[in-house]
Structure 1
Amino acid sequence: MHNYATESDALVPLNRAEDTYRRLKEDLFNFRLLPGDHFSENEIAARMEVSRTPVREALFRLQREGYVSVLPRMGWQVRPLDFEKFDQIYEVRILLEESSLQRLSRKDKVSSIGALMQTWCCPPDLRESNAKTVWMLDEDFHAGLVAAGGNPEIWRIHHDVMERLRIIRRLDFTKPQRVSATYEEHAAILEQIHRGRIGEAQRLLRSHIDASRLEVRKITLSMLYEARLEKSNT
């Protein structure tokens, strides 16, 4: 028996709606759809060779996530990147991770961060270099620190916060020097936790996240400039 989602009295297989959502989100993340761009459901449906129903369902989902807006009688628009809002979200993220480190001070630190130390405290020749792999490992690192704190609600909120930052955070490892810096900074944070110096670990963590925040802003603006230049030349 198949599961189906309904929209406008039509039946849409859930996998088709999910695939349309995933492809649209990739278009946003890769700046094929640029901030400020206007488009219609018909245009997207024609390009993706699907009906309007899964497109509409995907767009409403992206609207709830804050990526697009619907404009009366004008179709849809990609929402501009709001770096002031991103800065505010980053501050929430830092508070959540610092709080988790404080909770970690009352736990068995070795068992809590053992797996993370195996990944990040390794010789340079054993480090990952693929940008996407390092990004996923970095996500696991920060989620792992929060999980080690032992509060599932903090982990849930942190997960939601990271999802809101993902459109820019995934660009952090497109530069080789950022990969190297991340390994070194993660290892330093873990070393301080292992030694029980939670205050120093918190200081290093905040500095690490701030450096990443500034770097992804520069990379994002550069990629947006290049994407707009390429679009204007086509």
Structure 2
Amino acid sequence: MTFSSILHTARGERSVIKKVSYKDQVYQYLKHAIIKGELQTGVIYSEQQFADKLEVSRTPVREAVIRLTNEGMLEVFSNRGWGVKPVLPEDLQKILQARIAIEGYSLRYLVRHRDEAAFQKVIREMQACQSDSESFAQDESHHFEYMKADTDFHCLMVSCTDNAYLKRINDQMRTKIEQATYNSLHMSRRNAKACLEHHQILQEILHGDENSAMRAFMQHMQETAMALGTTLLE
């Protein structure tokens, strides 16, 4: 199997992706494999192993591993290889706390500016994510696609702030968030319920009720924490 066919199988796409470097393609392939649990904790992998599998040199694999290590997804074992870094309960709790701080502020900001053209565009994009979520929520075979729409919904809120610091921190957490979201939704089979929670958040944004929007958001985060087997507060 060629590198392109492996990548497209992983991403569920048929068309050949052009003008994308091997480094970026390998990064996307490994990231998706981590999120889906295809690469498991406790197993040591090597650069050569994936260079052979994807029919590329070791350089793009090494660069992808470095990038994922910096994102906290992988850990390197000296002279042995690398493995998937386990997501511990305390990690999940801290990620949720960071999300509440960043997304909570972003949600309030969005509600306050909802009538402005730029923010109306963000709301329409969130509605599109919600529509995608609803179409994927009923079919477990589209679990990965649902997770991506779910994560995009939250990231759009942060993007509306036009705050480079918030967006940078959110981007750094995104892969971890996707990994945690994929696992929590899959294990608890709560796609449909999470979708309804997003719908409620959207309705409160459209109504312009900042406090009600925050209550809906916090209820969603509380349900997420329960699905992840952790709590929001220590």
Question: Alignment partner of 2:76: what SS?
Answer: strand
Unaligned 5+ runs, structure 1: 1-12, 219-234
State the alpha-carbon separation in 1 of the partners of residues 26 and 163 from structure 2: 35
State the alpha-carbon separation in 2 of the partners of residues 64 and 117 from structure 1: 29
- Return the index of the structure with the highest Cα Rg: 1
Question: Alignment partner of 1:23: what SS?
Answer: helix
State the alpha-carbon separation in 1 of the partners of residues 81 and 152 from structure 2: 37
Matched, 1:164 2:170: no
Cα offsets for 1:75-117 (capped at 9, x unmatched): 3232222221121011111111111222234323486354157
What residue is the counterpart of 2:64 in the other structure?
58
Which letter maps to 2:219? S
Task: Using the TM superposition, give the Cα deviation of residue 190 of structure 1 relative to its aligned residue in structure 2, in angstroms.
Answer: 2.2
What residue is the counterpart of 1:153 in the other structure?
165
Matched, 1:92 2:93: no
Question: Alignment partner of 1:37: what SS?
Answer: coil
Question: Alignment partner of 2:212: what SS?
Answer: helix
State the alpha-carbon separation in 2 of the partners of residues 15 and 121 from structure 1: 31
Task: Using the TM superposition, give the Cα deviation of residue 67 of structure 1 relative to its aligned residue in structure 2, in angstroms.
Answer: 1.9
RMSD: 3.2
Which letter maps to 2:155? A
What residue is the counterpart of 1:4 in the other structure?
none
State the alpha-carbon separation in 2 of the partners of residues 150 and 76 from structure 1: 36
Task: Using the TM superposition, give the Cα deviation of residue 150 of structure 1 relative to its aligned residue in structure 2, in angstroms.
Answer: 4.8
Which letter maps to 1:179? N
Cα offsets for 1:129-163 (capped at 9, x unmatched): 24334323322321222334453432333233223
Question: Alignment partner of 2:109: what SS?
Answer: helix
State the alpha-carbon separation in 2 of the partners of residues 136 and 170 from structure 1: 9
| C-alpha contact (below 8 Å) 1:103/1:150 kept by paired residues | no
Which letter maps to 1:85? D
Task: Using the TM superposition, give the Cα deviation of residue 66 of structure 1 relative to its aligned residue in structure 2, in angstroms.
Answer: 1.6
State the alpha-carbon separation in 2 of the partners of residues 209 and 119 from structure 1: 21
What residue is the counterpart of 1:46 in the other structure?
52
What residue is the counterpart of 1:127 in the other structure?
134
| C-alpha contact (below 8 Å) 1:16/1:54 kept by paired residues | yes
Matched, 1:137 2:149: yes
State the alpha-carbon separation in 2 of the partners of residues 65 and 105 from structure 1: 31
Q: TM-score, normalised by structure 1?
A: 0.70
Q: Which has the higher strand share?
A: 1
Task: Using the TM superposition, give the Cα deviation of residue 172 of structure 1 relative to its aligned residue in structure 2, in angstroms.
Answer: 4.7
Number of residue equivalences? 203
Choose 57-66 or 113-122, whichever is displaced more: 113-122
Task: Using the TM superposition, give the Cα deviation of residue 216 of structure 1 relative to its aligned residue in structure 2, in angstroms.
Answer: 4.5
| C-alpha contact (below 8 Å) 1:105/1:196 kept by paired residues | yes
| C-alpha contact (below 8 Å) 1:109/1:194 kept by paired residues | no
Alpha-carbon distance change, 206 to 15 in structure 1, aligned in 2, over 3 angstroms: same
What residue is the counterpart of 2:86 in the other structure?
80
State the alpha-carbon separation in 1 of the partners of residues 180 and 188 from structure 2: 17
Unaligned 5+ runs, structure 2: 1-18, 137-141
Question: Alignment partner of 2:208: what SS?
Answer: coil
State the alpha-carbon separation in 2 of the partners of residues 73 and 152 from structure 1: 38
State the alpha-carbon separation in 2 of the partners of residues 28 and 51 from structure 1: 21
State the alpha-carbon separation in 2 of the partners of residues 66 and 36 from structure 1: 16
State the alpha-carbon separation in 1 of the partners of residues 164 and 29 from structure 2: 31
